[in-house]
Amino acid sequence: MTIFKDELLLQELYSVKKPASYLSLELNKRAPKFEEREVRFVLTYPDLYEVGTSHIGGKILYYILNDLTDFALCHRAYLPRPDMQEFMKRKGIPLYTLEEFRPVKDYDLWGLSFSSELTYTNALRVINLAGLPLKREEREGFPIIFAGGPCMYNPIPISLFVDLVSIGDGEETLVEVAKLTREIKKAGGTKEDFLYEARKIEGIWVPKFGKYPVKKAVFTKIPEGFFPTSPPIPVVETSQDRITIEVSRGCLRGCRFCQAGFIYRPYRERNEKLIETLLESTFKNTGYEEASLSSLSVSDHSRFNSLIPEVMEVCYKEMISLSLPSMRVKSFNPELASQLMQVKKTGFTLAPEAGSERLRRAINKDLTNEDLFRVVEGLFSRGWGRLKLYFMIGLPFEDEEDIDALIDMLWQVYKIGKKYKGKKHLAAGISIFVSKPFTPFQWESFASEEEVKEKIAYIKKKAPRSFKLRFHDYRQSLIEAILTRGNEEVSKLIETAYLEGCQLDGWDEFFNWEGWLRAFEKTGFDVKEATKKKDLEKELPWDFIKGVVSKKFLIREFEKAKKAQKTPDCRIVGCHGCGACTLQQIKELKNHPIPEKIEFNVPPRPKREFPLKRKVALVFEKKGFTKFLSLLDLTRAFTRTFRKFGVPLRYSQGFNPHPKINILLGLPVGVEGNGEIVEVELTEESYDFEKFIENSKEFLPEGLRFKKFIELHSKETLLSKIETVTYIIIPFKDYNISLLREEKLFNRKGKEVVLKDHIAWFKEEKNLIKIAIKVINGNILNIQDILNWIGLSLGTAKVCREELIKT
């Protein structure tokens, strides 16, 4: 850990937004150290930490390299926000890994995972931040930069910048790449030696050697496990901060707009007992409060009806709320909603995709209006008030009647809601169709801006006012449409856009449309040509990739779409000859039939009671990097730590129960604490907190430690015993303490403060300041106001609070 050893540099990190995102502030076990393994990987999801750390694919590969090999390790790096990028530039800090603060360029291999084409410019930014040339031809030696993820089913747009591409499932491929790296390093080989041998690995494409047939890699051992149950746990808020268990991979529903449904074939599923075990093990290692069963269509799991009761048993026991984000509307029985929501009541999301049944048949979406309205009626009648619908516009074969049907569907949902008491929160997300490689619509054009604007205006005018409508930005969808089907010319466009300042294209607040316009102009890029309908007979940039689904099959599906004809799931009517499965895999499908009816039974649970049996105050220190954790971050960290170690927490009542945890006099971000206090209410008398304090040391991030515990009476709080709190301030610049002798000053919000009412005393000692602040009705003057008055800030002074109470 070399980058933030300097105390002043660490304190200056306070000046950037969410500084905790750039430090090793995660719960749970640590990865192997750099010196402990021969082959060193870095994995990067090229987006902000709060998005990238939620990526399930990265978690799987992190686990496989660190836990299932004894010679390779995997560390992580993410794209910093622009303000942090500027900070790093000013301070001469290269892109570094979270695990060791070691420059990324020190590693052997650097993997970039792409789930969205809108992260391509981010990839160029992280390469630049690492101090490496953007183009692969200009880089010599290691690290080898490789790309993976679903976007790599057309790797051509990114091929100018990466040394190799992993196509398909990465579990076994990355281990083979690691083994090859070890061999090359031992033999003293070069980068060229590595690339020459790497192209022999199934699923690996080396752009240096041009387009040659590459078969996608398929990981067949999904049913056997190979899933992380003890991942690093973010303490800062992230986009999908929960247990996520992959219950199956692949989908045979064949929705013609859905790339995932074709590229992830063949279908593979885990045994329901193994899923239950994975969920229980992950909870015991993480203490997470929420869980999600991940699948492209979770209710198509052959053992769904027995899976859910078993999973719910674990969830109810451990106070875990469960979500099933990919439930098919057609299979969902509203009677089951209450059973699924026994821990925590949430809203529902339904995805009709299109308004009319004709268009849904064309896109092969197995859903009727009757199916949808049945579910909506069932949810509203049972007291659910939050509902969100997802649609697409600009679909192939869409006409005006389809848009009218979409609007009519919104009105029907609204009218159903009006029949039942309670406020309804209705929302509709409407995206713009983008044709993707390896789908039956891969040849289709992208809708013009005029056409989309007209449809959006019409929907806004005609839709019920009660619906909160959110439309995807046309410009972002246009960039995605260009990149996803791009050729070599698009590589130059991406580079030019990046040089024009484009990055974080998927974020509304950072999206730089003007930069893309300049890139179009400078490269002479023809947007209309790139987004127009493609000829069925012409070669596509990704045709050299084999083992996905055949072109013949996709053309057949396209012709059926024209006629609005459906193609049923293979498990219902037999193999359709898509070309993705082996004969053995086709035979095995009979072992995983789709449930004819979703009909599980989770017995009703008695109302939970949380009697107060014990109350404890835990004294903790918050030092070093952990001073950048907010009060919410700390509460999140403590909640998961208590749950992981089986502390019998007392919860609130209601639809959204939360543990009775209270951190006294919360510290501002950037301030250390020698003896902070968190009070915890318990439902059991017997729990060994001495053992807990010892065991939690390895789970908590460095700098956050419980020191002791204090027994309290049921209605007692230590806050009543705290009369003053003392801060030690070590300034890094000149200051003027004389202002603290004034009678009155104005705080940062412009409110007048009588100093003698709040400051007990202050004094200077050598290179530091000590100041005691009075506690008044459970509140104290913010230390940032005092720093401001004397000419300092949390970026120019180290501040530490002494123990809140002496025991």
Name every residue whose Cβ is closer than 8 Å to that of residue 385 and which is 6 or more positions away in sequence.
347, 417, 422, 423, 424, 425
Let me know: does 639 contact 696? Beta carbons within 8 Å.
Answer: no
How high is the pLDDT of residue 600? 74
How high is the pLDDT of residue 226? 82
Q: What is the pairing mode between strands 144-148 and 164-166?
A: parallel
Distance of alpha carbon 376 from its chain centroid, rounded?
29
**By C-alpha distance, which of 63, 458, 116 is closest to 278?**
63
What does the block give as tokens for 162? 């990466």
Task: Please report how many Cα atoms fall inside a 13 Å half-sphere around the Cα of residue 557, on the Cβ side.
Answer: 28
Q: What angle do CA 48, 53, 54 make, to 5 degrees?
A: 110
How high is the pLDDT of residue 767? 87
Q: Which residue has the tokens 């940032």?
A: 784
Kindly state the helix (H) or strand (E) to which residue 164 belongs, with its residue range: strand 164-166
Whole-angstrom distance, CA of residue 507 vs CA of residue 519 = 19
Looking at domain 7-215, does it have CATH number 3.40.50.280? yes
DSSP letters along 555-572, please? HHHHHHHHTT-----HHH
What is the residue extent of each domain of the chain? 7-215, 242-472+535-591, 606-721, 723-807
Q: What is the pairing mode between strands 321-323 and 290-294?
A: parallel
**How far are the Cα atoms of 112, 149, 206 from residue 489, in angstroms, in the given order?**
21, 21, 18
What are the start-end ranges of the E strands in 266-346?
Answer: 268-269, 290-294, 321-323
How high is the pLDDT of residue 16? 95
Let me know: does 250 contact 297? Beta carbons within 8 Å.
Answer: no
**By C-alpha distance, which of 509, 502, 504 is closest to 523?**
502
Kindly state the helix (H) or strand (E) to which residue 470 belongs, with its residue range: strand 467-471
Let me know: does 354 contact 391? Beta carbons within 8 Å.
Answer: yes
How high is the pLDDT of residue 605? 75
Annotate 691-743 with three-state secondary structure. HHHHHHHHCCCCCEEEEEEEEECCCCCHHHHCCEEEEEEEECCCCCHHHHHCC
| The residue type at 289 | E
CATH of 606-721, one of 3.30.70.580, 3.30.70.270, 3.40.50.450, 2.60.120.260: 3.30.70.580
For the structural domain made of 242-472+535-591, what CATH number should be given? 3.80.30.20
Cα dihedral 460/466/468/471 (nearest 10): -20
What does the block give as tokens for 445? 């054009």
Whole-angstrom distance, CA of residue 194 vs CA of residue 188 = 11
What does the block give as tokens for 696? 């939690």
According to DSSP H, which parts of 28-110 are helical? 49-52, 56-67, 82-91
How high is the pLDDT of residue 335? 67
Whole-angstrom distance, CA of residue 22 vs CA of residue 3 = 11
Beta bridge partners of 798: 730
Name every residue whose Cβ is closer than 8 Å to that of residue 509 and which is 6 or more positions away in sequence.
none
Name every residue whose Cβ is closer than 8 Å to that of residue 457 and which is 6 or more positions away in sequence.
none
How high is the pLDDT of residue 133? 97
Residue 31 DSSP class: P
Whole-angstrom distance, CA of residue 79 vs CA of residue 128 = 11
Whole-angstrom distance, CA of residue 416 vs CA of residue 251 = 32
Whole-angstrom distance, CA of residue 238 vs CA of residue 229 = 18
Whole-angstrom distance, CA of residue 269 vs CA of residue 301 = 7
Cα dihedral 540/542/543/546 (nearest 10): -160
Name every residue whose Cβ is closer than 8 Å to that of residue 639 and which is 6 or more positions away in sequence.
287, 289, 649, 659, 661
Q: What is the CB neighbour count within 10 angstroms for residue 13?
A: 19
Ranges of the chain with pLDDT below 70: 1-2, 331, 335-347, 807
